[in-house]
Structure 1
């Protein structure tokens, strides 16, 4: 250090353990203010520059971008608290995304390590198709699938809750089996329709009384009522949830809930079962969080409850 207590750029770099180029870069960005210039025009720094340079290095060690450091630290080393909170929140969010991507990559690699050569080739094809460079995968394809199969002109609020409930979210820490399930679900909802066939769920019957908005409102309520039974593993049975389920179909078609209607509904539901939707819900079950029944599980439980009631000769008490 010179007699006046000032440091040359080389002395500052040496004491901080960085290169002269690094000091010059931070100086040019305004992160490391110069105290003065020598007679020959060389940069001179005060003793406080060493502490500031070490602080900047610590922040850079945490991978904070230089632009963010400039936002949170003013020339007098005063922290800008609001900016600091925003910067840290953004960094944490970015790290969460990176960690999720690494967990998906790890699970996918474990999946590919298992099985025969033929199975690995098939799995790699599936994974490559649904990841497409994005980790974790997004849910755009299943969402498009549901928008395609739902009745037209449903209220936006109904479409929203159905998408929220029906589209499985990628697990943050997936197992290899869940990676495979998500890949298969993606393949299912994006596969082309074979010529002369329609793998989509059948369109609503042509009934002038049919009101799909009424149906989906009622189904949403019935599905909520059946969740406790699904979580406890209780067998399908008659009761409030089943009555709400049948009532949704009856009101949607301008009909009354009678024993005859329940018989016809059971037949209709059996006939409208579709292998694509059945497979969709099996895969969605594999991706669901623990104790979080899917809409498919709720629908199957209620269908089974209706069949059980009819097999036992029930339903006669409904008007």
Structure 2
């Protein structure tokens, strides 16, 4: 392009693909001022003005506001700085759009009511920190003032929901269900009772050193019994129950007698709640972890088997 050539606003519009009205707006705003005017007052633009207009168009297409464009053209800020800021802003917008898409897909799948849609949108658009605070507040209230087993408390606090930037509808569903669950006063009271009972065990040195091992043993043995169609009160169940009770008695330093079995049933009843298991299943779904195995049916079988 010849540096001495001057272009009318119409010629400039044809070269750039912008409308005369848009170029006139930029010109009046001082972003792309005319190089000079004809005797009749018509605007003329040189090659530098054309290049300036190209940059304005590019920045505007990228979503940069006109004030920032002017600062770039006046060399108050660099293009790199502007690009970095807008890239970060776009990242936020993309995450928001992905989340909205997941909410809409979840709504479409479950045929939600207007109230459910509002709740889903409200909960899903919370920040990561706000989502974590909902769970940490629930944990804080459950353990407040109690000397619970530190390993269990650490496990609870380490397993916080981390909704991904591009969640699946199932993850949005799980997050909404989790928020509703930890907000349920009855569930919170049940978890508090579990924590109080465990704290009392810890204080009385009656908490097993490896509760997870006992839990796995119970789940495995009884899941096999259930699969074999063995009823908890049947003769076939007795050797299974005896083996498990003996394992608990050894872990707790107790004697397997009628009183211990009644105490073990009480302990198992307090710690067995389908909602508590669902809590961990929902955390796993949200975080994309392997599915949480269903253990509650095994412990419900054990409770029934321990009845006098």
| TM-score bin (small chain) | 0.5 to 0.7
- What TM-score, normalized by structure 2, do the two folds share? 0.57
Look up the match of 1:179. Answer: 172
Residue 86 of structure 1 aligns to a residue in which SS?
Answer: helix
Look up the match of 1:54. Answer: 54
Residue 204 of structure 1 aligns to a residue in which SS?
Answer: helix
Whether 2:254 is the aligned partner of 1:260: answer yes
Instruction: Output one character per residue of 1:151-178: Cα deviation in whole Å (capped at 9) or x when no partner.
Output: 2499xxx9x9767633322244444433
The 5-angstrom pairing of residues 31-42 of structure 1 reads: 31-38=31-38
Measure how far apart 1:16 and its partner are. 1.9
Measure how far apart 1:98 and its partner are. 2.0
Distance 2:40 2:63 in 1: 36
Measure how far apart 1:269 and its partner are. 5.7
Look up the match of 1:289. Answer: 288
Q: 1:133 to 1:269 in 2, by over 3 A?
A: closer
The 5-angstrom pairing of residues 99-248 of structure 1 reads: 99-112=98-111, 121=113, 125-132=115-122, 135=125, 139=131, 141-152=134-145, 165-193=158-186, 198-202=189-193, 204=196, 210=203
Look up the match of 2:63. Answer: 63
Q: 1:193 to 1:258 in 2, by over 3 A?
A: closer
- What TM-score, normalized by structure 1, do the two folds share? 0.56
Look up the match of 1:86. Answer: 85
Residue 88 of structure 2 aligns to a residue in which SS?
Answer: helix
Look up the match of 1:115. Answer: none
Measure how far apart 1:275 and its partner are. 4.4
Higher helix share: 2
Measure how far apart 1:21 and its partner are. 3.1
Aligned residue pair count: 254
Higher radius of gyration, 1 or 2: 2
Look up the match of 1:310. Answer: none
Distance 1:171 1:47 in 2: 48
Distance 2:166 2:47 in 1: 48
| Structure 2 unaligned spans of 5+ | 222-250, 303-308
Q: 1:258 to 1:187 in 2, by over 3 A?
A: closer
RMSD of the alignment, in Å?
Answer: 5.2
Measure how far apart 1:43 and its partner are. 4.0
Measure how far apart 1:23 and its partner are. 1.8
Residue 201 of structure 1 aligns to a residue in which SS?
Answer: helix
| 8 Å contact from structure 2 (residues 95, 165) kept in 1 | no
Distance 1:58 1:7 in 2: 20
Q: 1:16 to 1:277 in 2, by over 3 A?
A: same
The answer to which of 164-173 and 129-138 deviates more is 129-138
| 8 Å contact from structure 1 (residues 38, 44) kept in 2 | yes
Residue 44 of structure 2 aligns to a residue in which SS?
Answer: strand
Distance 1:44 1:153 in 2: 80
Q: 1:86 to 1:179 in 2, by over 3 A?
A: closer
Q: 1:134 to 1:173 in 2, by over 3 A?
A: closer
Q: 1:130 to 1:145 in 2, by over 3 A?
A: farther
Residue 162 of structure 2 aligns to a residue in which SS?
Answer: coil
| Structure 1 unaligned spans of 5+ | 113-119, 230-234, 237-256, 308-319
Distance 1:146 1:272 in 2: 16
